[in-house]
Structure formats: structure tokens, C-alpha cells
């Protein structure tokens, strides 16, 4: 578009010359937009007039209002000539400098295929995203160069650069692959590039209103925590519980939290500026107490950040942050928690960490692989297809957690599943290595190693002296030892060599399905028995076997009435 004189006024204001846009608003009937060079030429066209005309108080008697600074994309307003923020929104394709360099609006040109973008400046999103107005995009876009947006952002005000003229552009429209682009060294005069694409994301096609209802997906720990993956425990800055959802729904929920226009809060930050860990800091000389599980703002001379994880509340050697503004600290600089007032000093090393535009990482459609740096998911929700990257930047591949389900149950059914032995329970699966007759027994040791493909906590059946097989919960196991809650075996002791077997499910049903999750090692055949003698819902004993493989397994109760 060209400079439309009728849409601008130039008014003498003491020693200043106020250049103001007075045309239609962005959403109006006919808003207009002018390139900076067109604004300059329009001012010069008025400046050579004999006298002022209408609402344009600029003529040959006035000092030179503007200058082309060696390029069409770099215009300086001179001698008190100025525009305001609202008027700058109707200019594009370059920079405007005024007040002898005390105020600068720098040009932004967006390449890609984005319909809507965000700009984050000085740790906050610019909520007045006029550049996304349809009529402006139509006026300033250029299909031949794949330019979707052109606009200006004020980067210097009252003689001071705003956050070193750094800008972060993001594209976070649900249904697309999120992208971001950082102008990290500070904007330059003319057009500064943001490369932001909005390609279709086949793993994110659920509408926002539906994702909003997935409130059972929660981050149970915001902060430093250990998660058991396979044979070890590793540290992460989150612990996501998928609830009753799939991994891909976790991925979509994470993107929904980050989406453009989000009103969610995560780690104390608005969802639409949250990025995850950007830097890992080595620290020393701690004072005070940081919160281990509650994010807080941290500051140092020259920058701010959000603390996402710290390896000790009082004796930290590592902290992980999202940089919000400024630059990272340098060796010896003191870092202070805004809420806790605790401090540490940077100990030489700052390690940048790779950002995933969707903070959870990538979705394969059924797994998170790879996950973003430091992003943790609860052990019970992990599968062998997930790939987590812990805070040591080490990939962790979970074991194959599988699920066995007994379906078509009703409340009141007693369901028991255990290793199969010829169409019955494998009563002699294990044996105790000694007898137990104490009043407060807290562990049971077997004569052989306990199979690893059993629930991490659950129940066993142990034969006591009377011949009964008592149900004993265990809280964990290692090697040949089950750890159990304090239990008395005084009245009916366990003999040495007593039969013991693991029950994968051993409880009264509360609904239509009873499930168990454990780590797959090799295919295992489970024997399941279901009975219900409650009045009105009596059924004949149901028994079945099921081969449980690497993908899990299931049985369906046949409900033959015994009424």
C-alpha cells in the first residue's frame, strides 16, 4: 500500500511535530498501511509546500522532518518530528528512529506460512498483536517471498534499549507444529527476520474445547524429582501423570497449555511464554533456602529467569532455568530468588539446553519420543517406546510396562490372577527360605530370586502352618526379598520352605475392569478366577488362562448366572 495522506495528520506541538495516523482502525472498513520510505516521502512532499494544508501543519518553513538513512528501510524522524506507538502500527518494511536515537521502532519480517504469531519481549508476550489483524496481513504480506507479516516493534524507549533489543517470535496455533525464532543479538535497523512455520501437526487435531476437559493430565511435581526408569532412578524437573489418557493426549494437552492466547499457568509463568529449560547453571556459595518444588523468579545483574529445578534447597550445585530477559549470568555473579531471597553464585559454567517448541517433546502418536530435556513422566505411565532425557542430558529408555486387564467384572466380584500351572495357580512358584513367627515381620525372603516381571508393589499368597494361603501385601521387592508392612505371624506362623506365589490381581472388583501393570520380561500365562455369591448377582465360577505378551493381555469374564 502507499502513504494515504488523508489517513495522517501532522500537528505542531511546541517544538515537536506530531505525526499521527487518523485513518480506520485495523478492523475498520479501510485501514491503510505505509512503508517507512513512503511515510518519509509523504512528509517530504508536505515539507516543500508553500503553506500548511488542512490538518497537516508542515510546509517549507519547517525544519526537515525526516531523512532516508542510506536505505529505504531505515528512516529517521528529525527536529522533533515523531510518531507514537499507535501510529507506528500502520507502518512496515523498515525502522523508524526518532528523538536523536532515543526511540527506535525496528522492522520485523516473518517468513513462512504462519497465520498468527506471538512476540515475546523482556519476558512477556506483547498482547497487542496488531500484526495478526487480517486486513494488515493482507496489505503487507508477499506470497512470492513467503512473507506473512511485516510490522514494527518498539525496541528502544527514552534512551534505553528494551531488553537489549532481543525478541522471541513464536508460532503456537493448535493443530500446527509449534515453531520459534530468537533475535538474540538485538535487532538491527531495517527488517529483522523471524522464520516461523505453521505446518500441520497430525498428532494434534483435537479441538481446544475437548482438550480443555482433560484435567486428569497433571504435573504432580513442579521441580527437581527422581523417577524410576528400569533399574535406576533419574532426576527430572517434572513428573507428568497421564491419568486415563494416552501419551498423544498428554502431548496435545501440553500444546494446549502453551497455545496462543492461553490463560493457563505453569511453573509460575503464563502458558503462552513457557518454554521449558533453556539453561543449566553450575552454582556454589548458597545462602538461604530455595523451594525444591515451587518455581520462582530469579534475578542477577543483567538478567532474569524462572527457576524450574534445583538439586538442593540449601546446598545447590546445579540449577535449571528458563531465561526470561537479559543475558545469562557470568562467573561469580550472585543469583537471588525473588520469593525465597535465597542466593547462589554462578560457578563458571552455563550450559544452554535445546528447546522443544512443544515443551513436552515430540509425539509419535503413541509415545513421547524424544521427550524434551528434563521433562519427566511418572514411571507407571512410561512404555518402552518412550524416550526421556534426564537432567544429566542422558536419554533414558523405559522398560516395557504392560497391562493385563480382566474385563466385564461387576462391583463385588472377587478377582484373582496368578502364574498358571496346569489350569490352576502356581502355588509353588516361590518358597520361603526360613520360618516366620514374629509379631512385626517386615520382610519375607525367598529361596530364589523373585521374578522381575511382577508389579512393583502388590500382593503375594503365603502358606501358613494351618495350610491356608494368606494374602500379604508387599510394598517393594529386590533380589529374593519382599518388603511388607509390619505383619504378625504369631497365631499362624510361616514354616521354612512354605509355598509362596505372586498374585497379579487379588481383590474385590469395584467396576467393570480390573487391571495390573508390570514390566514385561517374557510371555507369561496367567490363570484367573472370578466368583461372586452376592444375592442377585451370583455367577458360576469363571476360570480362564491368558497369554500376556509384549503388548499386554486381557480376559473377559463370562457371567453365567448361578441365581
pLDDT 10s digits, 59-71: 999 999 999 988 9
State the Cα–Cα distance between residues 432 and 266, nearest whole angstrom: 49
Q: Is residue 334 located within the same domain as residue 435?
A: no
State the Cα–Cα distance between residues 160 and 287, nearest whole angstrom: 33
pLDDT reading at 426 higher than 90: yes
pLDDT reading at 399 higher than 90: no
In DSSP terms, 351 is beta-bridged to 280
In a domain, 175, yes or no: no
Higher-confidence residue of 445 and 294: namely 445
In a domain, 179, yes or no: no
pLDDT for the residue 294? 83
Strands 269-270 and 279-287: unpaired
Q: Is residue 381 located within the same domain as residue 234?
A: yes
User: 415: domain range?
Assistant: 402-556
State the Cα–Cα distance between residues 240 and 221, nearest whole angstrom: 8
In a domain, 185, yes or no: no
pLDDT for the residue 480? 98
Q: Is residue 523 located within the same domain as residue 376?
A: no
In a domain, 177, yes or no: no
> For the whole model, what pTM was predicted?
0.81
Q: Is residue 145 located within the same domain as residue 287?
A: no
Q: Is residue 368 located within the same domain as residue 517?
A: no
State the Cα–Cα distance between residues 442 and 463, nearest whole angstrom: 17
Q: Is residue 335 located within the same domain as residue 283?
A: yes
Task: With cut-offs at 50, 70 and 90, classify the pLDDT of residue 538.
Answer: very high
Count of Cβ atoms closer than 10 Å to residue 423 Cβ = 10
Q: Is residue 293 located within the same domain as residue 427?
A: no
Count of Cβ atoms closer than 10 Å to residue 104 Cβ = 22
| DSSP classification of residue 420 | B
- Rounded to an integer, the average pLDDT of 539-558 is 96
83-87, 340-344, 425-429, 549-553: least confidently modelled range: 549-553
State the Cα–Cα distance between residues 305 and 350, nearest whole angstrom: 13
pLDDT reading at 380 higher than 90: no
Write down which residue in 161, 195, 227 finishes a domain.
Answer: 161
Write down which residue in 102, 130, 161 finishes a domain.
Answer: 161
pLDDT for the residue 232? 87
Q: Is residue 532 located within the same domain as residue 465?
A: yes
pLDDT for the residue 158? 96
Task: With cut-offs at 50, 70 and 90, classify the pLDDT of residue 487.
Answer: very high
In a domain, 265, yes or no: yes
Task: With cut-offs at 50, 70 and 90, classify the pLDDT of residue 149.
Answer: very high
pLDDT reading at 231 higher than 80: no
* pLDDT tens-digit series, residues 253-294: 999 999 999 999 999 999 999 999 999 999 999 999 999 988
Q: Is residue 32 located within the same domain as residue 81?
A: yes
pLDDT for the residue 384? 87
pLDDT for the residue 62? 93
In a domain, 380, yes or no: yes
Q: Which residues contact 343 (CB under 8 A, 6 or more apart)?
A: 285, 286, 287, 288, 334, 335, 336, 337
Q: How many domains does the chain have?
A: 4
- Rounded to an integer, the average pLDDT of 218-236 is 93
- CB-count burial class (<10 Å; 0-12, 13-18, 19+) for 215: exposed
The percentage of the chain sitting over the pLDDT mark of 70, rounded to a whole number, equals 100
In a domain, 201, yes or no: no
pLDDT reading at 535 higher than 70: yes
Q: Is residue 383 located within the same domain as residue 450?
A: no
Task: With cut-offs at 50, 70 and 90, classify the pLDDT of residue 10.
Answer: very high
In a domain, 202, yes or no: no
State the Cα–Cα distance between residues 32 and 11, nearest whole angstrom: 20
Which own/partner contact pairs does 9-14 have at CB distance under 8 Å and 24+ positions apart?
Answer: 9/55, 9/56, 10/43, 10/46, 10/55, 10/56, 10/57, 10/58, 10/65, 11/55, 11/57, 12/57
Q: Is residue 459 located within the same domain as residue 551?
A: yes
Catalogue the E-assigned strands of 28-158.
34-35, 66-68, 74-77, 81-82, 91-92, 95-98, 103-112, 118-121, 124-125, 147-157
Task: With cut-offs at 50, 70 and 90, classify the pLDDT of residue 467.
Answer: very high
Positive/negative CA dihedral, 177, 178, 183, 184:
negative
pLDDT for the residue 230? 78
pLDDT for the residue 401? 83
- Rounded to an integer, the average pLDDT of 433-446 is 98
Grid cell 543469583 in the structure block, residue: 335
Q: Which residues contact 334 (CB under 8 A, 6 or more apart)?
A: 300, 343, 344, 345
- Rounded to an integer, the average pLDDT of 22-28 is 96
Q: What is the CA radius of gyration of the chain?
A: 33
Write down which residue in 161, 194, 219 finishes a domain.
Answer: 161
* pLDDT tens-digit series, residues 501-523: 999 999 999 999 999 999 898 99
- Rounded to an integer, the average pLDDT of 93-99 is 97
Catalogue the E-assigned strands of 449-538.
458-463, 469-474, 476-478, 481-487, 499-508, 513-519, 524-532
- CB-count burial class (<10 Å; 0-12, 13-18, 19+) for 530: buried
- Rounded to an integer, the average pLDDT of 458-479 is 97
Q: Is residue 327 located within the same domain as residue 365?
A: no
In degrees and rounded to multiples of 5, residue 47 shows phi and psi of -70, -20
pLDDT for the residue 1? 62
State the Cα–Cα distance between residues 278 and 182, nearest whole angstrom: 12
State the Cα–Cα distance between residues 4 and 24, nearest whole angstrom: 11
State the Cα–Cα distance between residues 232 and 130, nearest whole angstrom: 50
Amino acid at each position: 500500500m502507499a502513504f494515504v495522506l488523508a489517513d495522517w495528520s501532522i500537528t505542531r506541538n511546541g517544538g515537536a511535530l506530531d505525526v499521527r495516523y487518523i485513518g480506520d482502525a485495523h478492523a475498520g472498513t479501510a485501514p491503510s498501511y505505509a512503508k517507512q520510505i513512503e511515510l518519509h516521502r509523504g512528509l517530504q512532499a508536505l515539507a516543500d509546500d508553500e503553506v500548511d494544508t488542512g490538518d497537516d501543519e508542515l510546509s517549507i518553513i519547517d525544519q526537515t522532518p525526516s531523512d532516508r538513512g542510506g536505505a529505504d528501510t531505515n528512516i529517521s524522524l528529525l527536529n522533533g518530528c515523531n510518531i507514537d506507538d499507535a501510529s507506528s502500527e500502520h507502518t512496515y518494511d523498515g525502522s523508524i528512529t526518532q528523538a536523536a536515537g532515543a526511540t527506535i521502532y525496528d522492522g520485523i519480517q516473518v517468513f513462512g506460512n504462519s497465520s498468527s504469531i506471538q512476540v515475546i519481549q523482556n519476558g512477556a508476550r506483547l498482547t497487542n498483536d496488531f500484526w495478526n489483524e487480517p486486513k494488515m496481513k493482507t496489505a503487507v504480506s508477499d506470497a512470492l517471498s513467503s512473507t506473512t507479516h511485516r510490522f514494527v516493534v518498539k525496541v528502544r524507549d527514552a534512551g534505553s534499549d528494551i531488553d537489549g533489543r532481543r525478541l522471541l517470535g513464536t508460532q503456537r496455533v493448535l493443530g500446527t507444529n509449534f515453531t520459534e525464532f530468537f533475535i538474540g543479538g538485538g535487532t538491527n535497523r531495517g527488517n529483522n527476520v523471524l522464520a516461523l512455520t505453521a505446518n500441520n501437526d497430525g498428532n494434534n487435531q483435537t479441538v481446544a474445547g475437548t482438550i480443555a476437559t482433560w484435567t486428569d493430565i497433571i504435573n504432580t511435581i513442579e521441580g527437581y524429582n527422581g523417577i524410576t526408569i528400569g533399574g535406576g532412578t533419574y532426576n527430572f524437573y517434572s513428573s507428568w501423570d497421564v491419568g486415563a489418557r494416552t501419551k498423544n493426549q498428554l502431548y496435545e494437552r501440553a500444546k494446549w497449555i502453551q497455545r496462543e492466547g492461553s490463560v493457563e499457568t505453569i511453573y509460575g509463568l503464563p502458558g503462552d511464554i513457557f518454554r521449558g529449560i533453556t539453561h543449566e547453571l553450575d552454582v556454589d556459595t548458597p545462602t538461604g533456602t530455595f523451594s525444591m518444588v515451587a518455581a520462582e523468579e530469579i534475578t542477577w545483574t543483567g538478567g532474569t529467569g524462572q527457576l524450574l529445578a534445583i538439586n538442593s534447597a540449601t546446598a545447590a550445585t546445579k540449577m535449571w532455568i528458563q531465561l526470561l530477559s537479559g543475558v545469562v549470568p557470568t562467573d561469580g555473579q550472585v543469583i537471588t530468588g525473588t520469593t525465597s531471597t535465597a542466593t547462589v553464585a554462578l560457578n563458571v559454567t552455563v550450559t544452554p539446553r535445546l528447546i522443544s517448541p512443544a515443551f513436552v517433546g515430540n509425539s509419535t502418536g503413541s509415545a513421547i519420543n524424544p521427550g524434551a530435556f528434563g521433562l519427566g513422566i511418572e514411571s507407571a505411565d512410561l512404555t518402552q517406546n518412550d524416550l526421556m532425557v534426564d537432567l544429566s542430558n542422558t536419554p533414558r529408555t523405559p522398560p516395557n510396562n504392560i497391562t493385563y486387564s480382566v474385563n466385564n467384572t461387576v462391583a463385588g466380584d472377587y478377582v484373582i490372577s496368578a502364574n498358571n500351572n496346569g489350569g490352576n495357580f502356581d502355588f509353588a512358584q516361590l518358597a520361603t527360605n526360613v520360618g516366620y513367627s514374629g509379631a512385626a515381620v517386615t520382610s519375607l525372603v525367598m529361596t530364589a530370586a523373585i521374578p522381575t516381571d511382577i508389579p512393583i508393589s502388590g500382593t503375594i499368597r503365603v502358606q501358613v502352618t494351618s495350610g491356608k494361603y494368606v494374602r500379604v501385601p508387599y510394598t517393594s521387592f529386590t533380589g529374593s526379598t519382599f518388603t511388607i508392612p509390619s505383619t504378625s505371624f504369631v497365631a499362624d506362623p510361616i514354616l521354612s520352605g512354605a509355598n509362596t506365589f505372586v498374585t497379579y490381581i487379588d481383590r474385590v472388583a469395584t467396576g467393570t475392569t480390573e487391571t495390573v501393570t508390570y514390566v514385561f520380561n517374557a510371555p507369561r500365562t496367567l490363570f484367573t478366577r472370578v466368583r461372586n455369591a452376592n444375592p442377585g448377582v451370583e455367577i458360576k465360577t469363571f476360570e480362564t488362562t491368558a497369554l500376556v505378551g509384549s503388548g499386554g493381555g486381557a480376559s473377559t469374564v463370562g457371567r453365567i448366572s448361578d441365581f
